[in-house]
Amino acid sequence: MSRDSLIWVMVAVAVFANAAVGIFNIERMLVRDRTVKSRLATRAELVETLSLMKDAEAGHRGYLLTGDPQYLQPYRDAEAGLPESLGKLRGMLAGQPGRLDQIEQLVGAKFVEMRRTIATRDTRGRDAAADEVGENVGKTVMDNLRGEVATLTEEQNRLLTGDEVQETELRGTALTTHVIGAVLAVGVVFVAATLVRQQMARRAAGVAALRRAKDEAETALNQLDAFFRNAPCGIAYYDADLRYIHINDAFAKLNRAPVEAHIGKSVEELPPNFPLKLQEEYLEISRRLVPSVGRRLAIADEIWEVSVFPVISRRAERPGLGVIGINVTAAAEAEARVLESEARFRTMAEAMPQIVWMTRPDGYHEYYNRRWYDFTGLTPEQSLGWGWSGPLHPDDLARSKARWQVSVETGTPYEIEYRFRAADGTYRWFLARANPIHNEKGQVARWLGTCTDIDDSKQQAGQLEDLVERRTLALRRSNEELEKFAYIASHDLQEPLRKIQAFGDRLSTRFKAGLGEQGQDYITRMLDSAGRMRRLIDDLLSFSRVTTKVNPLAPVDLNAVVRDVLSDLEIRIAQSDGRVEVGPLPTLPADPVQMRQLFQNLISNALKFQRPGVPPVVTVTAKYLRAVLPEPPSKSVAPLPATPASYRLTVRDNGIGFEPQYATRIFELFQRLHGRQQYEGTGLGLAICKKIAERHGGTIVAEGLPGEGSTFTIDLPLTLELERRHAAPHFAGDYSGRR
Amino acid sequence: MPHRTLPVTILVADDDADDRQLVAEAFGEAKIRNDLRFVEDGVELLEYLQRRGKYVEPDSSPRPGLILLDLNMPRMDGREALSLIKEDRNLRSIRVIIMTTSKAEQDIVQSYDLMASSYITKPVRFESLVDVVKTLSKYWLEIVELPPNEPDASA
């Protein structure tokens, strides 16, 4: 705009300047024109004057010569006309006073001379007149007059020439101003046209933008309207006089009238179906201009959450009123249920003889039952949060806090024994347990814990523990001595045996001929005895090693163990024409070397005690036994399953069997039911099996009837830790050895 | 039996006279004619190797290429003797084969930790002992390249 203004100002200045120059120029031309005309008239008048003088002189001369008065006529005419002509000249040369004096003088002098000579002619005749004329007075005057007129005329001519020069200048100036004027005019037109065009373009763009804005506004309005109508909550908008301006479907439905029926009606005419006095609400709201949010109102059988708020718009002087209602019946009922169950829980917790507590997911204790406050004598303020650690025994503090932290961080159950200080300053042992309670997303929502007073049983257990520990120590020491003795004895016993065998070998090979048949037999018997003793010692060594040479328990695949054993016994199985059937066996926590020894002994026993003429058939099977749950909670401090989950392994044969009364004795050291000549053996194999079963926390029993075979049953419990992993029976592979 | 330019000396350390005899007989039975010498415990073994005491004369103590070492011996047992041999820069390269009655896992692990070349349990039967001796000499004296019998460094 300012640029346009500037242009316009400059254009105006140029136009006005140009016009001023033009007007001034015209003014000058008019002046010049008048001057030229006057100069031309002056010059003509000068010629006229001179011509009149010439006429007068010619008439004068004719009269003088002829005396004919006829010739005096031109003279008289000139004499009459001259004053007029001179008058005109005087007017014309008014700017040059005195300039005509000379001419008038000369004209006067001429006429004096002519009148005198005419008078002479008339009086004295022609000759006298000629004489007078001959004095040349008249001629001199006339010559002077001529000269004077010529000078004046010349002067006028000179002035006219100067005027012409001036006219050329003026014409040039006029041309320039015209051209400039024309250029300016064209420029103005052009600029004006451009500005108009721009203006029009701008206006067109404005119109398009306006249309677009209108479209957008309409779309937004439509969307807003759709949103408003479909909202799953009741919405109504009243003006300051509480007349319905807008109402959505949900609200209209609540009022049991269509949307259209509401618009423009006041709340008196169509009161909303909320138990709310809108007039009063409005008074309060319009005064304070603060919304009232989320009041719960009962409408029929439902619970609604209603918010009322001022609607302030620029166009209205007084604020309108907005109402939004949401049906929260389901949530309200759920809350009520929670509150009720909470109340039930508290009633129960307060009545419990144990300390009961509850925490937030982050471990912050937010509830203790009465028993806690009675026992510790603390106030709720002292107890909330981490206040529970206050009365902890100093020796238990760090351990308990760390343990609790672990459970809170991992969400795993909490179990610990610690001492709390009672109100009287004494400490008592408690068993604390807590479990996480999960929300529907599986996150820990809170922890619920109990502390059970175990002080009495702890004291007893402590005494018992001391006793057990002392005895265990003594037992372990004597056991270790025994093991060491057994090991060294076996080792030192083997040395001489080895020599007996080695030199016996030398004797029987190198001196075979000298020994004779009987000598050979003695040596063979001697070597057999040595061999038996050697096996005895080996078995004794194995027996002692069951407890001295222990491997840590690791998952053992019994299928693989039995497969190895069968491969070692392959020749024996083939020789006896027997077969071993193996069902699917589990993988369980065990000492792998000992498991191998167990099956080696049991299977080789089963093959060994075969009935004469009956090919041995041995079956090896396994079965998962579920844990037997404990008795209903009693005083027991740590109720563990009465019987933990276990695997039952069975080795059954169709051999000679045994009298049932020997079922226990056969597991004792060096117990044999048969002569060595009948069935070889050291009498240690089953004792080793029993020791292995016991080392695994299990049992082994034998059942049998003579001539009907024997069954050996080993129950191996799974530790609690492993039981969790083996929640379901787990059998790996399906190996069945048939030979 | 291929003959080497310098037949390898085999030194047996065992406190048991019976075993020494059995080993000597087994070498005889196996027809191995290498120079076979005996010492009776760890102390004597070290004296021999380091040429001290009665072994000062180099002729009495040719450097062995192979040592058969029992573990359980009086005065100084085989474990200690083995560790001293392996600590001695001049003796370290001699192959030491443990030959003992012990089957204890701890002994086996410890012996290999102390850089024993092999661990053999003394066989019960004499025939087995002959087999062991044959296999040993075949492996250590024929198959394996041993370091050259370095001239005795002035220890």
pLDDT in tens, A144-185: 888 888 888 888 888 888 878 877 888 888 888 888 888 888
CATH number at residue A32: 1.20.120
Chain B contact present for A317, CB below 8 A: no
Give a yes or no: residue A493 inside a domain.
no
pLDDT value at residue A723 = 40
A275/A146 same-domain check: no
A573/A717 same-domain check: yes
pLDDT value at residue A629 = 60
Q: Do B126 and A498 touch (CB under 8 A)?
A: no
Which of A259-268, A476-485, B4-13 reaches the highest mean pLDDT?
A259-268
Partners of A235 in the β-ladder: A324
A575/A701 same-domain check: yes
Give a yes or no: residue A656 inside a domain.
yes
User: Is the pLDDT reported for residue A562 higher than 60?
Assistant: yes
Chain B contact present for A724, CB below 8 A: no
Contact present, A137 and A113 (Cβ < 8 Å): yes
Contact present, B60 and B35 (Cβ < 8 Å): no
Q: Average per-residue pLDDT in chain A?
A: 84
H/E element holding A230?
helix A137-230
pLDDT value at residue A642 = 58
Contact present, A311 and A237 (Cβ < 8 Å): yes
Tell me the mean pLDDT in the region A122-140. 81
User: Is the pLDDT reported for residue A480 higher than 80?
Assistant: no
H/E element holding B121?
strand B118-121
What span, in angstroms and rounded, lies between the C-alpha atoms of A735 and A739? Answer: 13
What span, in angstroms and rounded, lies between the C-alpha atoms of A83 and A78? Answer: 9
Within A549-668, residue ranges assigned H as helices are 558-568, 570-576, 592-608
Give a yes or no: residue A662 inside a domain.
yes
Higher pLDDT, B69 or A126: B69
pLDDT value at residue A677 = 67
Lowest average pLDDT, out of A278-282, A477-481, A637-641, goes to: A637-641
Q: What is the domain extent for residue A160?
A: 2-195
pLDDT value at residue A711 = 94
What span, in angstroms and rounded, lies between the C-alpha atoms of A107 and A444? Answer: 148
Q: Which of A149, A173, A195 is the last residue of a domain?
A: A195
Taking contacts as CB-CB distances below 8 angstroms, the residues of chain A near B105 are 549
Closest alpha carbon within chain B to A497: B124
User: Is the pLDDT reported for residue A666 higher than 80?
Assistant: yes
Q: Which of B153, B154, B152 is nearest to B63 (CA)?
A: B152
* Residue in A491, A495, A505 nearest the CB of B126: A505
Could you tell me the domains of chain B?
A: 9-136 (3.40.50.2300)
Q: Do A502 and B124 touch (CB under 8 A)?
A: yes
A323/A381 same-domain check: no
Contact present, A63 and A75 (Cβ < 8 Å): yes
A283/A395 same-domain check: no
Give a yes or no: residue A442 inside a domain.
yes
pLDDT value at residue B3 = 45
pLDDT value at residue A202 = 92
pLDDT value at residue A720 = 43
pLDDT value at residue A270 = 84
Confidence band, pLDDT 50/70/90 cuts, at residue A357: very high
* CB-based burial, A476-487: b 16+ in 10 Å, e otherwise: eeeeeeebeebb
- Residue ranges in chain B whose pLDDT is less than 70: 1-6, 148-155
A42/A177 same-domain check: yes
A356/A321 same-domain check: no
A354/A304 same-domain check: no
Q: CB-hemisphere CA count at 13 Å for A278?
A: 28
Tell me the mean pLDDT in the region A537-549. 77
Confidence band, pLDDT 50/70/90 cuts, at residue A393: very high
CATH number at residue A295: 3.30.450.20
Q: Which of A298, A321, A311, A330 is nearest to A232 (CA)?
A: A330
A597/A698 same-domain check: yes
Q: Do A498 and B124 touch (CB under 8 A)?
A: yes
**For chain A, what is the domain count?**
4
Residues recorded for chain B: 155
Q: For helices A592-608 and A558-568, what crossing angle results, to 10°? A: 50
A235/A352 same-domain check: no
Partners of A306 in the β-ladder: A295, A325
Higher pLDDT, A580 or A682: A580
Confidence band, pLDDT 50/70/90 cuts, at residue A653: very high
Q: Which of residues 584-603 of A touch B (CB under 8 A)?
A: none
Give a yes or no: residue A539 inside a domain.
no
Q: Do A503 and B18 touch (CB under 8 A)?
A: yes
What span, in angstroms and rounded, lies between the C-alpha atoms of A144 and A50? Answer: 11
A626/A604 same-domain check: yes
User: Is the pLDDT reported for residue A17 higher than 90?
Assistant: no
Tell me the mean pLDDT in the region A495-511. 87
Chain B contact present for A512, CB below 8 A: no
What span, in angstroms and rounded, lies between the C-alpha atoms of B117 and B111? Answer: 9
Taking contacts as CB-CB distances below 8 angstroms, the residues of chain B near A494 are 101
Give a yes or no: residue A517 inside a domain.
no
B55 min Cα distance to partner chain A (Å): 30
Query: How far, in Å, are A336, A367, A434, A450 from residue A345 at the CA level?
Result: 14, 12, 16, 13
Residue to substitute from A487, A488, A495, A549, interface B, most B β-carbons within 10 A: A495
- Written as one letter, the residue type at A470 is R
Give a yes or no: residue A528 inside a domain.
no
Give a yes or no: residue A543 inside a domain.
no
pLDDT value at residue B96 = 94
Confidence band, pLDDT 50/70/90 cuts, at residue A212: very high
The full DSSP string for B64-97 is EEEEEE-S--SSS-HHHHHHHHHHSTTTTTSEEE
The SS3 call for residue A306 is strand
- Written as one letter, the residue type at B53 is G
Q: Which of A327, A349, A377 is the last residue of a domain?
A: A327
Q: Which of A453, A471, A489 is the last residue of a domain?
A: A453
Confidence band, pLDDT 50/70/90 cuts, at residue A714: very high
User: Is the pLDDT reported for residue A634 higher than 80?
Assistant: no
A588/A728 same-domain check: yes
Q: For helices A455-510 and A512-548, what crossing angle results, to 10°? A: 170
Helix and strand counts by DSSP (H, E) for chain B? 5, 5
Tokens of B111: 């012996």
Tell me the mean pLDDT in the region A23-28. 86
Partners of A247 in the β-ladder: A236
A504 min Cα distance to partner chain B (Å): 9
Tell me the mean pLDDT in the region A635-661. 76
Query: How far, in Å, are A364, A389, A390 from residue A408 at the CA level?
Result: 10, 15, 19
